Amino acid sequence: MIVSRTQKAGFSLYAGLILLLFYFPLFCIVVASLSKKRYFAFPYPAEDLTLKWYDAAVRSPQVAEFVGISLKIAALTTVCSLVIGFFAALAYARYAWRGRKTFQRLVLLPLFFPQSVLGLALLMWFNFLDITPSWWTAVISHTVWIAPITTLIMSIQAYGLDDSLEEAARDMGATRGQILRMITLPLLAPGMVSAACFAILLSWGNFALSLYTTGPDSALPEWLYARMTSGYQPIVPAVGAISVLGAIVLVVALFGIIHWTTRKNRRAAAR
């Protein structure tokens, strides 16, 4: 589309403004986590800058425990939702079958659903089945919510797959195994990687589902929430800032992977 320079500048300005507002709370968190005082008050003198809350956060056995539980949940959820999502994506995007339309609706349903209610419903269902909630019931609840997301991500990739590439390979005499190894799999790999990243990060940050389904085990967001509503400590923004940094690192890595694989594919295609 042809856009004049002033229009483009206007759009850029608007986007910049939104990004600035968008990152304002994260900036606040970092600022608060660097203040030495127990009670936060904004313009603090430069000599109050400290990293001691980060130190405390890293050393705290309590935080380590919650991080461990969160990581356990995230890892298992990722594996489950990748496997389930992979097959579901095939059913969603690659095969023709009679129940497909209904299936596609079903995939979306958990996403268009208030998470807190889903968490509660699962809690009651586990109670009915006499299952004591613990971290692995949280894995089930996270998977119910995240498997549709991984399915959609991989389906988009599978949709974008050009049939003619496979057909061309078949016409040129490639065996089915060769087609799979050299064409389908490399083309679908970025979808799987980004689905895995989404799964890890969404499970890591999830609060509403964990709140109801972890039982006596607590995930990190639950602990943060409890600390925020009762009794502020600067260790809370420190933990928050660490998780922000972790997310940014993972997203940059994800971006790098996608960029790298597409470039490699393009180069391979050019050759």
| Residues between 26 and 65 that touch other proteins (CB under 8 A) | 26-29, 31-32, 40-43
Q: Which stretch binds other proteins (CB under 8 A): 48-56, 61-69, 198-206, 262-270?
A: 198-206
Sequence-ordered list of residues with C-beta below 8 angstroms from that of 168, at least 6 positions apart, any chain: none
- List Cα–Cα distances, 132 to 12, 125, 211, 214, in angstroms: 52, 11, 15, 9
* Least Cβ distance, residue 148 to other proteins (angstroms): 8
DSSP 263: H
* Least Cβ distance, residue 270 to other proteins (angstroms): 21
Taking each continuous run of H as one helix and of E as one strand, the counts in the chain are 12, 0
Please list every residue from 144 through 163 that binds other proteins, using CB under 8 A.
144, 147, 151-152, 155-156, 158-160, 163
**Which residue number, 55 or 262, has a Cβ lying nearer to other proteins?**
262
CB 80 within 8 A of CB 148: no
Please list every residue from 73 through 132 that binds other proteins, using CB under 8 A.
83-88, 90-100, 103-118, 120-125, 127-128
* Least Cβ distance, residue 31 to other proteins (angstroms): 6
**Which residue number, 106 or 268, has a Cβ lying nearer to other proteins?**
106
Q: Is 172 in the site for other proteins (CB under 8 A)?
A: no
DSSP run (H or E) holding 139: helix 135-160
Sequence-ordered list of residues with C-beta below 8 angstroms from that of 211, at least 6 positions apart, any chain: 116, 119, 222, 225
Binding pattern to other proteins, positions 220-239, x when CB under 8 A? xx--xx--xx------xx--
The alpha carbon dihedral of 44, 49, 50, 53 has a sign of positive
Please list every residue from 239 through 258 that binds other proteins, using CB under 8 A.
240, 243-244, 247-248, 250-251, 255
Residue matched to tokens 């974008």: 160
* Least Cβ distance, residue 49 to other proteins (angstroms): 15
* Least Cβ distance, residue 54 to other proteins (angstroms): 15
Q: How many CA atoms lie within 13 A of 6 on its CB side?
A: 0
* Least Cβ distance, residue 170 to other proteins (angstroms): 8
